[in-house]
Amino acid sequence: MTIPVSTETLDLAAKFPGIVTPDEREGYSGWIVKADELAAFAASLRDDLGYDFLSSVTGVDYLPEKKLEVVYHVYKTTGGPGLVFKVQLPRKKPEVPSLTPVYPGADFQEREAWDLLGIKFTGHPDLRRILMWEGFEGHPLRKDWKEPFYEEDIKPYSSRWPEGKHSYAEDRNPFNDNVQFPKQFDPEKWVPEGDAALYGALAEYRTTDEDGLDTDHIVVNMGPQHPSTHGVFRAVITLDGEDIVSMKPVMGYLHRNHEKIGERNTYLHNMPYTDRLDYFCSMTNNHGYALAVEKLTGIEVPERTEYIRVIMDELTRIQNHFILIGMLLNDLGAYFTPALYAFEERELILDIFEAVAGSRMMCNYFRFGGVARDVTPEILEKVSALAFDRLPRKADEFDRLLTENEILVSRCKGVGRLSSEDAIKYSMSGPSLRASGVPYDIRKADPYSIYDRFDFDVAVRYNGDTYDRYLIRLDEIRQSLRILQQAIRQIPEGPIQTGKSTYLTKTPAGESYGRIEAPKGELGYYLVSNGTGNPWRYHVRAPSFINITALESMVVGGKIADFVIVFGGIDVVLGEMDR
C-alpha cells in the first residue's frame, strides 16, 4: 500500500515550462503550479489530458513556512489514478484565481477554503462564508487561530493524563462559555449581518405583465427545521408562482469542527469522529480514513481483514440505499410505510455491526492495518443468511412494491434532470453520477482494498432523473449482494491486525489522499503529516457536501414541490455535509 499519492509518469514540468514544477518535498508528490497561470493550466489539464473530474479542493496552512497551499486533486472519469497539483501562496495575502470557470464543482469547496482558511479566490462568482455565518471573527482552520476552549496544540492534553487534575473548560474561559470576542467588543452596538449577502446572491427576478404591472418574486426559506430536508439543511428559493427561479443552499447548521478537532487529535482519536460524519455509514467512513493513514504509514493490511472490510462496506451500502429509498418515498408523501420496511432491514444489518463492533451506529471498527475485533463464525453465518437469502428477497420486494408504482413513476420521471456533462462538471460522484450515465465507480476505476478481485458490474442508468437515481440504488443493492456473496465464500482464516495495535501511530512526514466509493459518493481523506503523532492537516472530501453543488442546476425550472424529491434523490447526510 505504499503507492505515493496519485502521480502518473507524466512530465508536466516539460509540458508547462516555467509554470509547473514537481513537488519534491519528502513524502509529497504531484506538481506545484504558479498562481497566475492556474486557470490556463487547469483548462489544459481538462481539455488536453482528460482530467475532467475535480475531486477535491482544499487548503493547508503551513504556518512555520509562512505559506498557504491550495491542493487540487483531479481524476479522469474514464478511470485510472489521479493527479494532484498545488498552488503556494504567501500567508499575508493569499489570493488565487478561482477554478470555477473550468471546474464548476470547485464552487462550494473554494467557499469552504475561504471560510475556514481565508484563501481568497479571485473571480469566484459568490465568495461568501459557507459553514460559519457572515460576521464570524477569523478563519478557524488557520493554525494560529485558537478556539475558545483551546487547551494545547495537540492531544493527548497533559490535563487529561490519569494523574492530572480535571477542570471544566468553561472555568478557564473568561466569558465562562464557549465564546471569545475581540478586544473592546461592544455587544450592544453590534449589528448582525444577517442574510443580506445570501439574499443578494439569489438571481434578481422580476416580471412585468401585459398591463405593465411589476410582479415581485417570492422568496421561500425551507429549513433548517423542515421535515423533508433530512436534517438541518436550509434552502432559499425564489419562486415565480410554483416554479423555482433561483435556489441557494445554506449549510453549516451542523458544522461540528471536525477538521479543527481532527488536527488536535492523534491519528487513532479521529477514528470515532469519522463515524459521526455520515452517520448512516460509519463503516465506510472508517475505511476511507484507515486507507489514508495506511497510505501514509505504509502499513499492510492482512488478507482476512480486507475481506472483513469489504463485507462491512457492502452491508453499509445496502442499508444506506434501503433507507434512501424509504426516505425518498417519505418525501413523496407515502409517509412512513416504505421507510418502515427499510428500517426493518437496517436493524438486521445493525445487529451484525453491533455484534462485531459493539455499537449499532457508531462502529469505530477499523484500525490502521486491521480491524478492532475478529468476526466469529456465528456472525458470518448471520451475514450469509442475509446475503444469500433475506436481502435479495427484500430487494425484489422493494422492486415489486415500488418500481412501477404510478405515483412514484409520475413524480420522479424526468424530474431533476442532470446531464452527464453537467454531472461531471459539478463534481457529482457516487450513485447520482452513475444515474446520469457516467459509469464511474472508484471500486472499478481506481480499485482500493481488494475490490479488483470481485466480479461485479458498475450500475449505470442514463436518464439522470430522480427515477433513475431511485433505480440505481436498487441496482447497487443487487451488485453489493454479489460482492458480499463472493466475499463470504472466499474469506480466509488468518490474523486481523498487522503488528501490534497501538494508541499512538507515528507517521512519516508527507501527504496522502485516501478515497473510497462510499454509499453517497467519493469519500476522500486528505492528510498532511509533519512526522508526529498528530495530523498537521486533516481534510474530509465529503460527497454530500460536493454533490449539492449541482442542486441549483437540477431544481431551477422545476416546481417547488419537486425540490424535496430531487434533494432526497441525491442522498445527503448533514453530518457529512457540514462536518
Partner 1 sequence: MEKNDDKLNSPGYEIPSELQGQVAVTTLDRLYNWGRRSSVWPMMFGLACCAIEMIAAQAARYDMARFGMEVMRPSPRQSDLLLVSGTVTKKMLPIVVRLYNQMPEPKYVVAMGACASGGGPFKEGYNVVAGIDKFLPVDVYIPGCPPTPQALIHGMIKLQEKIDRQSIKKVRWYQEGADQVAIPEPILGPDLIDPRKLPQIKQVAKKG
Write down the least CB distance from residue 113 to partner 1, Å: 17
Residue 232 engages partner 1 in binding (rule: CB under 8 A): yes
Nearer Cβ to partner 1, position 185 or 503?
185
Phi, psi for residue 442 in degrees, rounded to 5: -60, -30
Q: Which of 267, 280, 365, 470 binds partner 1 (CB under 8 A)?
A: 280
Total residues found in the chain within this entry: 579
CA distances from 259 to 121, 143, 256, 531 (A): 21, 12, 9, 18
Could you tell me which stretch among 20-28, 66-74, 185-193, 482-490 binds partner 1 (CB under 8 A)? 185-193
Q: Which of 66, 90, 172, 181 binds partner 1 (CB under 8 A)?
A: 181
Half-sphere exposure in the Cβ direction for 481 (13 Å, CA): 21
Write down the least CB distance from residue 218 to partner 1, Å: 21
String of contacts with partner 1 for each residue 32-71, x by CB under 8 A? ----------------------------------------
* Residue of 321, 335, 316, 324 whose CA lies nearest to 230: 324
- The three cell numbers of residue 441 are 465507480
Nearer Cβ to partner 1, position 344 or 457?
344
Write down the least CB distance from residue 92 to partner 1, Å: 22
CB 116 within 8 A of CB 131: yes
Nearer Cβ to partner 1, position 334 or 458?
334
Residue 170 engages partner 1 in binding (rule: CB under 8 A): yes
Residue 184 engages partner 1 in binding (rule: CB under 8 A): yes
Residue 539 engages partner 1 in binding (rule: CB under 8 A): no
Angle at the Cα of 85 (from 83 to 89), degrees rounded to 5?
170
Looking at residues 109 to 168 of the shown chain, list those that interact with partner 1 (rule: CB under 8 A).
131-133, 135-137, 140, 147-151
Could you tell me which stretch among 26-34, 221-229, 418-426, 554-562 binds partner 1 (CB under 8 A)? 221-229
Write down the least CB distance from residue 27 to partner 1, Å: 29
Q: Which of 177, 242, 381, 457 binds partner 1 (CB under 8 A)?
A: 177
* Residue of 255, 207, 211 whose CA lies nearest to 577: 255
Q: How many other CB atoms are there within 10 angstroms of residue 66's CB atom?
A: 10
Angle at the Cα of 542 (from 541 to 544), degrees rounded to 5?
150
Write down the least CB distance from residue 457 to partner 1, Å: 30
Phi, psi for residue 211 in degrees, rounded to 5: -85, 5
**Torsion angle, alpha carbons of 437, 277, 324, 432, to 10:** -10
Looking at residues 438 to 497 of the shown chain, list those that interact with partner 1 (rule: CB under 8 A).
none
Nearer Cβ to partner 1, position 66 or 160?
160
Residue 253 engages partner 1 in binding (rule: CB under 8 A): yes
Is omega for the bond preceding 104 within 30 degrees of 0, making it cis?
no
Which residues have CB under 8 Å from 73's CB, separation 6+? 6, 54, 55, 56, 82, 83, 84, 513, 524, 526, 541
- The three cell numbers of residue 343 are 428500517
CB 468 within 8 A of CB 409: no
Write down the least CB distance from residue 282 to partner 1, Å: 9
Nearer Cβ to partner 1, position 187 or 377?
187
Residues of this chain that interact with partner 1 (CB under 8 A) are 131-133, 135-137, 140, 147-151, 169-170, 174-188, 190, 192, 224-227, 231-232, 252-257, 260-261, 264, 272-273, 276, 279-280, 336, 339-340, 343-344, 346-347, 360-362, 574-575
